[in-house]
Amino acid sequence: MEKSVIQKIILGAIFGAFIGFGIAWVYFTDRMPGFNEEVEEVVDRKTDENTDQTNDVETGSEKLPSSYSDFPELLSVKSQSYGDVVKIEKAVFDTLGWVVVYEDTDGEPGNILGAGLFRKENGEVGEVPLLRATEQFKKYYVVLHEDDGDGSFDYDKDLVKRDIATGKLIMAYFFSY
């Protein structure tokens, strides 16, 4: 093959990849109306007056809030050492469900780092294995997703779990140290 033909193929592949990422970005950022506003509301709240959820964690010269959840009776996670597993203190589902860990992107959930299947129990404790490890002194989100019945995580099919009374996402955040 000629050198110019190979260059055209490579440029075409790069151009196609950019278009594909652009389409995926538009699709996924517009997929859940109101999602970003709910995340901002959770982040802006400092504490829930009825529960002690914002104990600080000393990490050398850093002082980080331990964690926060609007629904501590359904989802609880504490700040923890960075690594390739996230420890969940409590996750309550009516049926099977997924605990999904997201990295923080500009104050809202970004890329999914991992998902763990939790069974119907009163506050099951467990771990979520991650595809990419958490990093020191960073914020992460944990969101509950209902399983669609196949026992396999699919972002498009396993929808986020919401509080029946308020419609808010069942979500928490924590920091790694």
Q: What is the pLDDT of residues 54-112, one digit of tens each?
A: 445 454 545 555 678 889 999 999 999 999 999 999 999 888 899 999 999 999 999 99
Please answer whether residues 128 and 114 qualify as being in contact, where contact means their C-beta atoms are separated by less than 8 angstroms: yes
- Computed over every residue of the chain, the mean pLDDT equals 80
**pLDDT band at residue 25 under the 50/70/90 scheme:** low
**pLDDT band at residue 51 under the 50/70/90 scheme:** very low
Within-domain flag for 106: yes
State what percent of residues in the chain have pLDDT above 70.
Answer: 73
Mean pLDDT of 6-24: 79
Within-domain flag for 105: yes
∠ CA(61), CA(64), CA(70), 5° rounding? Answer: 175
Mean pLDDT of 131-155: 95
For residues 72 and 39, what is the distance between their CA atoms, to the nearest angstrom? Answer: 16
Within-domain flag for 9: no
Instruction: Name the CA dihedral angle for 32, 36, 41, 44, rounded to a multiple of 10 degrees.
Output: 150
Within-domain flag for 14: no
Most confident of 4-13, 91-100, 135-144: 135-144
Q: Residue 39: is its pLDDT beyond 50?
A: no
Total tally of structural domains belonging to the chain: 1
pLDDT reported for residue 171:
95
Please tell me the total number of residues recorded for the chain in this structure: 177
Q: Which residue has the tokens 């950019």?
A: 18
Within-domain flag for 1: no
Between these two residues, 11 and 142, which has the higher pLDDT value?
Answer: 142
Range of the domain at 53: 31-175
Rounded to 5 degrees, φ, ψ at 42 are -65, -45
110-125: pLDDT as tens digits: 999 999 999 876 667 8
Within-domain flag for 18: no
Mean pLDDT of 149-156: 94
Within-domain flag for 110: yes
Within-domain flag for 10: no
